[in-house]
Each structure stands twice: as C-alpha cells, then as structure tokens.
Amino acid sequence: MNAPDKTQAAQSLEHYWMPYTDNPRFKSDPKMIVGAKDMHYRLADGREVLDGLATLWCVNAGHCRPKIVEAIRRQAGALDFASSFSTGHPLAFQVAERVAALAPEGLDHVFFTNSGSEAVDTVMKMAVGYHRLRGEGARTRFIGREKGYHGVNIGGMSVSGVPVNRKAYGGLLLGGTDHLRHTHDLSTRAFTRGCAATGAELADELEQRIVPLHDASNIAAVIVEPVSGAGGVLVPPQGYLQRLREICTRHGILLIFDEVICGFGRLGTPFASQYFGVTPDMITFAKGVTSGSVPLGGVIVKKEIYDTFMKSAGAGVQFFHGYTYSGHPLACAAALGALDTYAEENLFDRPNQLAKAFEDGVHSFKGSPHVIDCRNLGLIGAIELAARAGAPGARGFEVFEKCWDKGVFVRPVGDNVAFCPPLICEKKHLDQMFGTVAEVLRTVA
Ligand SMILES: Cc1ncc(COP(=O)(O)O)c(C=O)c1O
C-alpha cells in the first residue's frame, strides 16, 4: 500500500476537533505519535521522544508495560463489558479492594468513574447527598482554590481556579462556590526546594473570611489538590494542608483531596495524603490507577460516608448517580495490571530514590534565561518563565515545541514548563530531559 501523501494526510486531519489544542497549528505541523514503550514515544517518522510528563501526568508505570497489556488483552476476550448497575463483575470488586488497601486508613469504599472530571463531579454530589442525609441539607456550597484544576465538567470547572478554563463559560459556572487564595508567592517563596517553610497561614482564610461570609452551615466541602498540577505545579507550604484539615473538622466541612495527579506514587507514597500525613474525607483519583492505559477514575470515601448512604437513604438505590462505564471490565483489568506492576517493581518508592537528582535538576535552572521560579516535590516539578510582553504562554509553548524537536516531551502550562516523568525513569532520563530544556532555553527569545 502506498503511504498517504501530504494532501491526503491534511484532509484526514481535518475532522478531528482536538481537545485543549491549537487545532490549525497542530494540523499544519502534526506531532503524531504512533507507538510507545517504557519511557519513549515513537513518532510517525521513526524518531523517539522521551516522555517527561507521563503523557498527561498519568503513565506512572511507563508505556505498554507487559502486565498491563496482557491484562487488557486477556480481559477483552473474556468479558468485554458488563454493567455495574445492579449487576457486577469480579474485577471491579478486586480493584476497589486494592485501591482501598492503598488509601489512607479509614477511606475504604471506592466508586468508579471514567475520568478525573467525572470523579470530581461525583464527589460533589456525594458531599451534598451526605450532608442532606444527615439533616444538614443547607450545606451545598463548595470552596475551591485559585489556580486549582479539577477537570472540565460543570462542577469541577466551577471549583477550579484557572482563569482560562473558566472565562468562556460564565453562566455555566455554579453559583454556590468560592475560592481560597492560591499559595503561589514569588516575592517570598521563589526557588523553594520542596514545601516552603512559610505560608501555612494562607489556610486561615477559610476560617477568617470564607466561613464568616457564607456560614459553615452552608458549606459542603473544601476541595484542593495536595500539590496542584495543571495550574502550574504549586507545592503547598509546610503545615498548610494540616491547617485546612483542622479548620474543616472544626466546622463540619468535608475535606476533599483531588489526587488525580498525586495519587499512585507521584510523591513516593500511594497517595499524597500519606506523604503529608493529612487524611481527607474523600479522595478523587484517575490517571495513574491504570497508568493511563484505559480510562478509569473514581472516588474513595471514608466508611462513615458510605454507611450514611447505606443506612439513611433507605431501600432501593442509595445514590442516584453512575456512569454506563463505571467499573468497565477492561479498565479494571488495566488497573489490576498497573497495581501489580507498581507493587512488583516497588515503583511508588522511585520518587524517594530519585528525589535528590530530580530536585537538583529542577533547581539547576535558577539563573537560566527567563526563569523566575523552580518548584518540585516527589517526581513532579516545574520551572516558571517570565511571560513575553503581550503574549502570555508563548514562551512556554516555544520551549515545548523546541524540546519536542530535540526528542523530549515536557508540557507547557502557560509559561511554566512542567516535569512529571513516569516513575520508571532513571537518572539518565532526567539528565536528558533537563539537559534538553537547558539547551532550548538558551535559544528562546
Ligand atoms: C487534579 C485534577 N483533577 C481532575 C482532572 C481531570 O481529569 P480528566 O482529564 O481525566 O477528566 C485533572 C486532569 O489533569 C487533574 O489534574
């Protein structure tokens, strides 16, 4: 068969409306990935590109790992689909049990979705439903945080705090939300390694401004990412999450950790909750649970919340919510393959083993052209570049494109360049990733 010529290729690219993409720009110069293995993509022209972002913060076990591939293959031939609406299949129960075993003590029931966005909208319904069943039906307000990212569905978008993701959808945003200040402060905390020693008091805004303004009796939950990712990789100050926990507990407000990025080993523990020693009431997860191989997400809740639904909602369906593909057999098979791979290769410990090399690599950019901040924790980090006058994001995007051309994928988040490699990465991959970015920075205006 003849290879398609350029015109055919251009025609066939037209019909796909790509998400979060400058469509014409991609279609005029496609970055087409046709294969992947371990730490690398293979491109249509045969070149290899090092994956420095676990694709979208998800491929924690690396690409096309044998246990995951085999589990999906086997499952596709054994049970392609079974619904979890009043019927079940064993794999969903196995994955729930395994995820609960990894979760912090007391969070032991798991509800499945297909994505992080669905997990966030699900957790919001759970929070409101839980309060209502306990006779506190006025608790419907949600508190997110500036620069937070909780997906793209209506609830998640409303509690998110990334302006570009909100500005076009004014009337769709839920009214009953408010936002804590973000913790990013270049004037006092730029170039901090790990968690900053100052800034815990930013959590006090919850008690000093938000609770008095709305009254705790109207607030269902606070939702934050322990380390925010898609908002630019923001690491919480020491003690900040503890303080949020204490305030929430004092006021009967649920604390939700959105661990869609942090979960499944990113910080060197199964969940960030364990890294920080702070136990929320509910955790949302996705991405790393299958190492990105098949879409799966979910919510882990503490027993008391599950029990409240079971006891108080009465006979019949206790929670009027669920997705056709909640607990899909292929996704569950992929999750079991991923969880086995993580356990057998002790991958959740990799961020601890690589911590110093990764941190040193991220902070090696201090003093590089345009760099105004470097941030890191576990195996997630970012450098922040000064924005070009009148063109926010342009410099970050240029770094991404030039790195790609040199065989390294790092992600621009506005003018931040994010690093989040698969947990299987080795020092040589870090050296290549940071070395390429350093080289590129010297060429960027
Ligand atoms: C913290 C967080 N929550 C939710 C989401 C949304 O997940 P998804 O894209 O799977 O819907 C993301 C995606 O990056 C995320 O980082």
Is there an atom of ligand 1 within 6 Å of 121 CB? no
Domains of the chain are: 31-61+347-441 (3.90.1150.10), 68-344 (3.40.640.10)
Check pocket membership of 267 for ligand 1, CB cut-off 6 A.
no
User: Contact 53/318 with Cβ under 8 angstroms?
Assistant: no
pLDDT at 4: 43
Q: What is the pLDDT of residues 296-354, one digit of tens each?
A: 999 999 999 999 999 988 889 999 999 999 999 999 999 999 999 999 999 999 999 99
Report the residue among 57, 224, 287 best suited for mutation to probe ligand 1: largest number of ligand atoms under 8 A from its CB: 287
Residue 412, CA distances (Å) to 216, 227, 254, 359, 420 in order: 38, 17, 33, 19, 12
pLDDT tens digits for 258-292? 999 999 999 999 999 999 999 999 999 999 999 99
Q: Which amino acid is at 34?
A: V
Note the pLDDT of residue 1. Answer: 33
Ligand 1 centroid to Cα of residue 16, in Å, is: 22
Per-residue pLDDT at 122 = 98
Q: Three-class SS of residue 377?
A: strand
From the CB of 149, is ligand 1 less than 6 Å away?
A: yes
User: How does pLDDT run across 123-146, given as a tens digit for each residue?
Assistant: 999 999 999 999 999 999 999 999
For the chain, what is the mean pLDDT?
Answer: 96
87 burial class (0-12, 13-18, 19+ CB within 10 angstroms)? exposed
Q: In what order do the strands lie in the sheet with 107-113?
A: 107-113, 297-302, 282-285, 254-258, 219-224, 141-145, 177-180
CA distance 331 to 118: 15
Contact 403, 436 (CB under 8 A): yes
| Whether pLDDT at 6 is above 50 | no
Q: Are 318 and 138 in contact (CB under 8 A)?
A: no
Sign of CA pseudo-dihedral 419, 420, 422, 423: positive
- Global pTM value: 0.96
- pLDDT reported for residue 11: 60
Give the relative orientation of helices 116-133 and 303-312 as an angle to the nearest 10 degrees: 60
Look at the block and give the residue holding tokens 């991609």.
Answer: 26
CA 288 to CA 294: how far, in whole Å? Answer: 10
DSSP string, 93-150: HHHHHHHHHHS-TTEEEEEEESSHHHHHHHHHHHHHHHHHHTT-TT--EEEEETT---
Q: Ligand 1 in contact with 286 (CB < 6 A)?
A: yes
What share of the chain in percent tops pLDDT 90?
Answer: 96
| Mean pLDDT computed over 382-403 | 97
Kindly state the tokens that stand for 74: 């086997």
CA–centroid distance, residue 410 to ligand 1 (Å): 18
